Chain A
Amino acid sequence: MGGPAHFSWPKYHDVAHRLDKYPCLDQNDSLANKKRKSMGAFPAWLDTMARNINAMRSQVESALAGHIPAPFTSGNSNPVETVSAGIPETDGLTGGLPRGGITEICGPSCSGRTSLLMSVLASRTAQDEACAFIDGRDAFDPYSAEETGVRLEQLLWVRCRNIDQALRTTDLALHGGGFGLVVLDLGDIPPEVVRYVPLTVWFRFRRAVEHTPTIFLVLEQEPHAKTCASLVLRMETEAAHWVKTAQDFHGFVRHPHACLFAGSLLRTEMVRSRGQPGSMGWPNRASPAVTLELKYHPIG
């Protein structure tokens, strides 16, 4: 392989020095203004730099041609496979839950996180996929799950007592493999405790799940996985629906609280998504949000 073409990247002071050579610019002006004003003078210089870069690239590619076919091509550029969460509004917002990535569902208590989670479990178990549910505080209700359509025989429920057990069992489940969905429920664990989970743990989880068909879902009050998460959803309650049921009959005193809890109106906001075009993985404060209507059916 021949040596690279002699080339040196221009330093910041070199740029400033070159700008100073242009008599049309005010020397006392700021660098940003100088650059803006001298846009017409730059293309030649940049054009030379671009040609040098292309020449170096061609030289490197020809030298590596027998060993590495495309050294400057990025790795796996296959599109991320997504699956339905079971709720059309959420699917329309997010495009589906990504396989091989971490999805965080955040929100305070009574914000609809668990209901969304049950819907995801129902959709996965309906596809005959085995699911693992790592329950950080043993809060899973099999009756709610069964009512939502979750096939309980497809679900491995791990009932933990503390966050340490939850993280260790999650690691085992992810590395064991074979599950279509792994859920880590930290919804009842205070955020100040979850904040102490090192980022390396989330990186390890992400490495365990990437390039696999497993969906890793984390339920918590605040997002903690940071850049490791492929999708972050925030949920909150807008209103609860109560339906009056008792009628006024002649001679019958209606109970003042003769009503039924009929469901909730929830707001779901997509905070981060790697899969959405244009999102570029940056947190988007002005991200879209949808309103979900959850109905409640009495159990038992």
Chain B
Amino acid sequence: MAFASIFVPNFVVQAVVRSEPGLRDRALALVEGTASIRTVIGVNESAAKAGVRLGMTKSQAQQFGEIELRERSRMQENIAHAALLDLGWSVSPRIEDAAADTIVLDIAGLASLLGSEENIARQLAEGATHLGLITQIATATNLDAAILASRAFAGITVIPAGKESATIGKVPIIALTPSMEILETLERWGVHTCVALAALPVLQLSQRLGQEGVRLHELARARSARSMVLAQPAIYFEEAMELEDAVAEIEPLSFLLGRLLNQLCARLAARSLAASAIRVKFELDLTCIVDIPIIPDCPPDSPSIYERTFCLPVPMGDPKMLLKLLILNLESDAPSAPIVKIFLSAEAARPRVSQGGLFCPISPDPEKVELTVARLAKIVGEANIGSPELLDTHRPEGFRMRRFAPNRDSADARRAVRRPPGDQHPAAAEKVKNEKHCKTALRVFRPALPATVEVRKGCPTWIAFSGVRGQVVAASGPWRSSGDWWREDAWQSDEWDIEIQSSASSNARSLEQIANTGTKGSPPRGIYRVFYDLARKEWFVRGEYD
């Protein structure tokens, strides 16, 4: 049996400093209370040296010159505690959530993986530093002894087996958290340390102090035997920050988001996880809209919460890449008011594992392509970028745009290798099977171009549209197409494929065709698909065969 206890001294102060690393080297005091009386409930070392004491009022603390005063933040404490738990789970699956500032890990059996107990403790200390916390760590074969030692001794303490009671002997009994009554009784008896308490006979102690005394006696002797109360691993990761001054511009916001993303990704990495989606929530300060000229026109009923979820194509753990994606999306869809609080949460997923190969086909890295697509979407709009997906309909333009995800949809793609020239993808090979000629493609006019058509005996004979006019020298049709009659947007049209011989004296387009064709003697020709909309009773040109 071996346990490691991690204790965060001055936890309330460290929780605030974790969100504002700049305060670490400055004198800091935390205040809490009602509006009328706010008292100091936490100070760091610099503030303590300056003379600030717990229990002082806020106004008294402000007299000490360069003291940073902050409100106590339960939100930051919760987040810091969650980060501490993530650190523990990065090492061991069995964690006890002993207190807000203390967790205990079962490190039995980890020697072959992580080395000696001292190595494990050092690794935990380094991990805590990356998460922005300064910790005291102790290892022992007794769970409560490890907790006591971590709270009593700074740095890393490794208690050899059988030496627990000797090591914690000098720890004051107040560390055992007795009730006030028992504490006063023990102090009256002259019992101030654990070794003194352990020396008392347990029978007489129980007669005078009851079961609580027995419990304290066992703790002092490091002989308490209890099972760990295991904590369940969290399934969500969240970081938050409350701002002193509202932020309205992207540049300072990106700095703050970068800091939160670093912490979030560090916590995910500690659990060997990555983010499959990022959720951003801003609390907005609508009262500041009038004063901030850069905010665009804001309607009067703007919500005070801005919330967006960004789904990632693959789980990502790189904070810089995530920040770029967030900023690109926020620039195209900025919040309507300055921001006073930021909440950032991540949906965890197993990180992507991929192995490159010498013969893999050319495909963009999913993280890079997501960034490229975000940048492209900023220029053309999100609706105008993606992969087309044909719908099961005969409606013209029956397709939709979906997220671009190459080589991730088919089983073949998972084993994709660069095929030799004669070896094609089965689906594509099916299409060109037995085909020796390439096919004519259509260039679509969006929207369809209105046309003026002369019809004789039910067939178009002359047409004019958008700078092209001429005789119809060949026509195929009509091909009637209709559908969705039960809907308001039903369609019904007669389609024609026509060949037009442009008149030589008409327009720039046909003149250009004359200039560009090799056969300068004959007028230019073009083949188009036109349709007669039976509902609107008008002719349109859908596209040209090119």
Tell me the A residues contacting B by CB distance below 8 Å.
Answer: 83-84, 86-87, 107-119, 122-123, 125-130, 138-161, 165, 168-169, 172-173, 176-180, 187-188, 191, 213-214, 221-222, 236-237, 240, 242, 256-257, 259-261, 263-264, 267, 292-300
Contact = CB atoms under 8 A, between A and B. Distances in A.
A187 to B, nearest CB: 7
Nearest to A131: B406
A130 B457 CA distance: 49
Interface in B429-457: 429, 431-432, 437-446, 457
A120 to B, nearest CB: 10
The 10 A-B pairs with the shortest beta carbon distances in the complex, nearest first, are: A178-B364, A176-B372, A126-B428, A149-B431, A128-B361, A142-B388, A114-B546, A126-B424, A159-B384, A110-B526
B441 A109 contact: no
B407 A111 contact: no
B119 interface: no
A192 B15 CA distance: 64
A129 B499 contact: no
B440 A125 contact: no
Contact of A142 (B399, B438, B527): B399
A125 B544 contact: no
Interface of B: 361-365, 368-369, 371-373, 375-376, 379-380, 384-390, 394, 399, 401, 404-407, 409-410, 412-413, 416, 418-419, 421, 424-425, 427-429, 431-432, 437-446, 457, 459, 474-477, 479, 481, 497, 499, 509, 512-513, 516-519, 524-528, 543-546
Contacts of B509: 109
Given A151-B425, A180-B361, A259-B474, A168 B431 contact: no
A117 B425 CA distance: 19
B210 to A, nearest CB: 72
A151 B516 contact: no
A236 B390 contact: no
A148 B388 contact: no
Given A109-B513, A178-B362, A257-B477, A240 B443 contact: no
A56 to B, nearest CB: 45
B192 to A, nearest CB: 69
Given A158-B384, A177-B368, A242-B474, A129 B361 contact: yes
Contact of A295 (B413, B439, B497): B439
A107 B516 contact: yes
A108 B516 contact: yes
Nearest to A156: B404
B91 to A, nearest CB: 37
Contacts of B425: 125-128, 151
29 contacts: A108-B517, A109-B513, A110-B526, A110-B544, A112-B440, A112-B546, A113-B546, A115-B546, A119-B438, A126-B419, A126-B428, A128-B413, A138-B384, A138-B444, A139-B446, A141-B442, A148-B441, A149-B431, A153-B389, A153-B406, A155-B388, A156-B385, A156-B386, A157-B386, A158-B385, A159-B384, A178-B365, A180-B362, A222-B516
A84 B421 contact: yes
Nearest to A168: B379
Contacts of B544: 109-110
Given A139-B445, A141-B543, A160-B384, 17 more contacts: A108-B516, A115-B440, A115-B546, A119-B439, A125-B425, A127-B419, A138-B446, A157-B386, A160-B380, A165-B379, A221-B516, A242-B499, A257-B476, A294-B438, A295-B437, A295-B440, A296-B439
Nearest to A157: B388
B363 A130 contact: yes
A292 B406 contact: no
A223 to B, nearest CB: 11
B432 to A, nearest CB: 5
A14 B401 CA distance: 71
Nearest to A293: B437
B419 A114 contact: no
Nearest to A117: B441
A116 B459 CA distance: 31
Contacts of B516: 107-108, 111, 221-222, 236
Contacts of A146: 390
A257 B475 CA distance: 6
B363 A178 contact: yes
Contacts of A122: 428, 431-432
A239 B189 CA distance: 114
A148 B476 contact: no
A110 B376 contact: no
A294 B437 contact: yes
A255 to B, nearest CB: 8
A67 B525 CA distance: 63
B280 to A, nearest CB: 24
A299 B442 CA distance: 10
A294 B405 contact: no
A291 B388 CA distance: 32
Contacts of B525: 110, 237, 240
A112 B545 CA distance: 8
A159 B380 contact: yes
Contacts of B439: 115, 118-119, 144, 147-148, 294-297
A184 B447 CA distance: 20
B60 to A, nearest CB: 58
B428 A151 contact: yes
B441 A144 contact: yes
A155 B387 contact: yes
A62 B131 CA distance: 58
Nearest to A188: B443
A297 B434 CA distance: 14
A83 to B, nearest CB: 8
Given A114-B441, A148-B439, A294-B440, A300 B394 contact: yes
B406 A154 contact: yes
Nearest to A161: B380
A221 B418 contact: no
A146 B543 CA distance: 17
Contacts of A123: 424
Given A141-B441, A159-B384, A127 B477 contact: no
Contacts of B479: 298
Contacts of B481: 300
A122 B424 CA distance: 10
A148 B442 CA distance: 11
A251 B428 CA distance: 45
